[in-house]
Structure 1
Amino acid sequence: MKQPCYINLEQARQVLADMGVELNQRQMKRAADMDAQGRRKLPFFVDPIDKKLKTEKGTLVNIYRQCQIDAENNAQVFRPK
């Protein structure tokens, strides 16, 4: 099993940018902050040592890959008559 690699908000933003998902700092912060129901759009947690938001790099990448797979599986193929 691979060792987890925890990254902060800015590093996560860079990982997504490398994948072609360009987000500004505000968009990234909104995805990491809790909503009214106490849920986050992305799986960030508060680091118990430095009290900053962190996430696991592989998990973040896997979420986007799974979204792509779901989109491909749910796409309707256009077939001309």
Structure 2
Amino acid sequence: MTMSGTRLPQPCYLDLTQAREVLAEMGVELNERQMKRAADKDAHGRRKLPFFVDPIEGRLKIEKGTLVKIYRELQIEAENKYRRN
């Protein structure tokens, strides 16, 4: 519980396949290769999406709320830019 007495929502960690399914439910259809490229580090050691290596399973994971939030924020940003034009 937090100091105000409310519980924080439990994180929900997704592997690559589950993350791809969540994105597909949102209308973002990616194939396995595209999803893997978004999770793999680039030449600078950065990932396109904030996946991390699960310390127990050793597999890439991402928090579901974070994944959805990234796409919502990009949508809002695009809408705001559109309205300014």
TM-score interval (norm. to shorter): over 0.9
**1:32-64 deviation line (CA, Å, top 9, x unaligned):** 000000000001000000100000000000000
Q: How many Å separate the matches in 2 of 1:38 and 1:77?
A: 34
Q: Counterpart of 1:56?
A: 63
What is the aligned length? 78
Deviation, 1:76, is 4.7
Equivalent position amino acid for 1:9 in 2: L
Q: Which runs of 5 or more structure 2 residues have no equivalent in the other structure?
A: 1-7
Calculate the aligned-residue CA RMSD, in Å. 1.2
**4+ runs deviating over 3 angstroms:** none
Equivalent position amino acid for 2:62 in 1: T
Q: How many Å separate the matches in 1 of 2:10 and 2:83?
A: 38
Q: What's the TM-score once normalised by structure 1's chain length?
A: 0.92
Equivalent position amino acid for 1:21 in 2: V
Q: What's the TM-score once normalised by structure 2's chain length?
A: 0.88
Q: Which runs of 5 or more structure 1 residues have no equivalent in the other structure?
A: none
Deviation, 1:77, is 6.4
